[in-house]
Amino acid sequence: MRFIQKFLIAVSLGFVAITAGAASPADPVNGVHYRTLAQPQPTESGKKVEVTEFFWYGCPHCNSLEHGLTEWVKKQGDNIVFKRVPIKFRDSFIPQQRLYYTLEEMGKVDELHGKVFQAIHGGRQSLDTDEAILAFIEKQGVDKQKFLNMYRSFGVGTKVNRATQLQQAYAVDGVPMIAIDGRYITAPSIVGASMGRQPEKVLEDATFQVMSALVAKAAKEKKK
Domains and CATH numbers, the chain: 27-210 (3.40.30.10)
Contact 184, 36 (CB under 8 A): yes
Is the pTM higher than 0.85? Answer: yes
* pLDDT at res. 18: 41
Q: Are 165 and 77 in contact (CB under 8 A)?
A: no
Beta-strand pair 80-86/177-180:
unpaired
The whole-number pLDDT of residue 223 equals 85
Splitting the chain (224 residues) into consecutive groups of 10 residues, what average pLDDT does each group show?
A: 41 40 84 97 94 98 98 96 98 98 98 98 96 97 97 98 98 97 97 92 98 97 86
Q: What is the pLDDT of residue 193?
A: 92
- Predicted local distance difference test score (pLDDT) of residue 22: 53
Q: Is the dihedral of CA 172, 181, 155, 133 positive or negative?
A: positive
The H or E element that residue 123 is part of is: none
pLDDT score for 157: 98
